Amino acid sequence: MRHDDHEQILALKHAYFRTLDLKEFDRLGELLTEDCEAGYDGGNLSFTGRAAIVEFLSTSLSDPGIISEHHGHHPEINWISDDEAMGVWYLEDRVIIPAADLEIGGTAFYEDRYLRVDGHWRIAATGYSRVFEERRAFSTRELQSFTSRF
């Protein structure tokens, strides 16, 4: 493992969050392997293949009235080989849907698998499990529901 590989994986995950929030779903797809697997919401929403993942994210978040914010913190990168690594990220996220008077926020842990493909690091598997999630009325911030893994 070279220091440069570590930095490239950090930049890869940062680009994932950035392209997700900017609704650049085609660009996000370029960050994934062709056969990438994704399991969002603790695996309740699972997809296999770049096209299926991009379709799900695009369908779910492309509405300009939906605003999202994803922050990945405290990356823990572990090397399997020169061309494969695993990563854990602490996620802080927020989704705002004013038309539905809804704001969803919380934290989770992302677990990723990275592969070097044709000289570039790509996400081969990704998914998260929630620590907590809160749903609030966007207009009043009144708490509507709160769930926790504990």
Amino acid found at 49: G
Mean pLDDT value of segment 15-24: 98
Domain chopping of the chain, boundaries: 3-148
Other Cβ atoms within 10 Å of 80 Cβ, number: 12
Query: What are the angstrom distances between the C-alpha of 8 and each of 21, 43, 69, 124, 142?
Result: 20, 27, 22, 15, 41
How far apart are alpha carbons 66 and 78 in whole angstroms? 34
Residue 107 CB partners (closer than 8 Å, separation 6+): 90, 91, 92, 93, 130, 131, 132
Q: Which CATH number fits domain 3-148: 3.10.450.50, 3.30.450.20, 3.40.800.20, 3.50.50.60?
A: 3.10.450.50
pLDDT digits (tens, 9 = 90+) for 89-147: 999 999 999 999 999 999 999 999 999 999 999 999 999 999 999 999 999 999 999 99
